[in-house]
């Protein structure tokens, strides 16, 4: 029991969880009756962590994502600064497990941020082939256009000076996957409309 209290004290002081003292320890006739560890764990999991769901998705903090969902945090909560939801952050940072958890929890696969970028746009931009495949298999629209008139395949084709050879290779594989699934460049979409 001593170790459980030390762990809880550490979590409380680090700001990971907030639990009212009354829920942890009951006072009765000048004696302390400790709550069983199961109850302490259940209380801790009912509260959302202090870190936002966006930060948790960006950092790859799976346990915090689960804790957010269990506490009722909206997985489609929009970050006011850029219009992104947690799925955008998980997609650009290549966090496969978090992507799966968020999709399974009802995350909007085609959510657009302030630049009309979807999680698929961001995954393609990073050359994250496995994330692109997960999003497509979950029903993501392949040819949505962002504010700059680009489709996900346009972003996968785009090369940056800072891209490593590995990233360039992943982007080529991502382009191939998008092509297999019906992905088109914005120019190809324009030609179809003529």
Give the residue ranges of DSSP H helices in the chain.
2-14, 21-24, 37-46, 53-59, 62-70, 86-92, 96-104, 119-126, 129-137, 152-157, 165-180, 186-193
CATH class label, 109-194? mainly alpha
Give residue-wise pLDDT tens across range 152-185: 999 999 988 888 999 999 999 999 999 999 999 9
What pairs with residue 41 in β-bridges?
Answer: none
Between 24-33, 62-71, 118-127, the lowest mean confidence (pLDDT) is in 24-33
At 26, the pLDDT band (50, 70, 90 cuts) reads very low
Looking at residue 38, its pLDDT comes to 52
Task: Please give the pLDDT value at position 160.
Answer: 86
Query: What are the structural domain ranges in the chain?
Result: 1-47, 109-194
Give the pLDDT confidence score for residue 37 in this predicted structure: 52
């Amino acid at each position: 029991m001593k170790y459980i209290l030390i762990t809880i004290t550490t979590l409380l002081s680090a700001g990971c969880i907030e639990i009212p003292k009354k829920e942890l320890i009951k006072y009765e006739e000048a004696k302390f009756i400790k709550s069983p560890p199961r109850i302490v764990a259940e209380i801790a999991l009912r509260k959302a962590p202090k870190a936002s769901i966006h930060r948790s998705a960006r950092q790859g903090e799976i346990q915090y994502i689960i804790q957010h969902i269990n506490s009722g945090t909206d997985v489609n909560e929009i970050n006011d600064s850029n219009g992104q939801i947690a799925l955008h952050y998980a997609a650009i940072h290549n966090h496969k497990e978090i992507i799966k958890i968020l999709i399974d929890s009802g995350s909007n696969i085609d959510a657009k941020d302030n630049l009309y970028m979807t999680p698929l746009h961001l995954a393609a931009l990073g050359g994250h082939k496995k994330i692109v495949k997960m999003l497509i298999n979950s029903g993501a629209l392949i040819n949505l256009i962002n504010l700059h008139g680009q489709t996900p395949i346009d972003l996968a084709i785009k090369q940056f000076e800072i891209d490593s050879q590995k990233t360039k290779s992943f982007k080529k594989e991502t382009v191939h996957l998008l092509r297999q699934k019906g992905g088109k460049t914005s120019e190809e979409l324009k030609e179809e409309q003529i």
